[in-house]
Homo-oligomer: A and B are copies of this chain.
Amino acid sequence: MPAPDPGFEQRTRESFARQNAMTTLGANLEMIEPGRVVIGMAHSPALTQQHGFLHAGMLAAALDSACGYAAFTLMPAGSGVLTIEFKINLLAPARGPRFTLVGQVTKAGRTISVVDGQAFEQDEQGARKLIATMTATMMTVVGRDDVRH
């Protein structure tokens, strides 16, 4: 894996802050490392499906961001990140009340990166359970700065 651009954490925070969708989800950046990003969020009545669980798509939205930014940490300064595709498997109902979304780069390429994601829920006792997995393909877009435009 290449040595990351030294500004990777700052760039990632700035780009994430511009994702209004993350504010709507109540999602926060909990950890940024080269090739790995962790996002936290809470269950909310505004984000539910018909049985009161977190909507799979809302979970997917936060997990897609975790995966995208995990890839972004390893991209050269001045690049943008684009999701080409992702697949998510839902393993258990998303009850919460807390969720942790982890994106971890499996292969960082010059143009294409593959990232694996895991979604966990924590119950009131702090027990952690894997509720979804994702595989996402990300593209490095040169000349479309993620941050300054």
Residues of A within 8 A of B (CB): 15-16, 18-21, 23-24, 45-51, 55-58, 60-65, 80, 82-92, 106-107, 111-112, 114, 116, 130, 133, 135, 137, 139, 144, 146-147, 149
Contacts and interface: CB of A to CB of B under 8 A. Distances in A.
**How many protomers of this protein does the assembly include?**
4
A106 B57 CA distance: 21
**Nearest 3 interchain pairs by C-beta:** A57-B61, A21-B55, A87-B87
Given A57-B61, A64-B60, A87 B86 contact: yes
Contacts of A64: 55-57, 60
B111 A133 contact: no
Contacts of A49: 18-19, 21, 65
Secondary structure call for the A interface? mixed
B20 A46 contact: yes
Given A19-B50, A85-B89, A135-B135, 14 more contacts: A15-B50, A18-B50, A21-B47, A21-B55, A24-B46, A50-B146, A57-B58, A58-B61, A85-B114, A85-B137, A91-B106, A111-B139, A114-B133, A116-B133
A80 B51 contact: yes
A71 to B, nearest CB: 13
A119 B41 CA distance: 27
Given A64-B60, A89-B114, A135-B87, A23 B46 contact: yes
Given A57-B57, A84-B112, A90-B84, A137 B135 contact: no
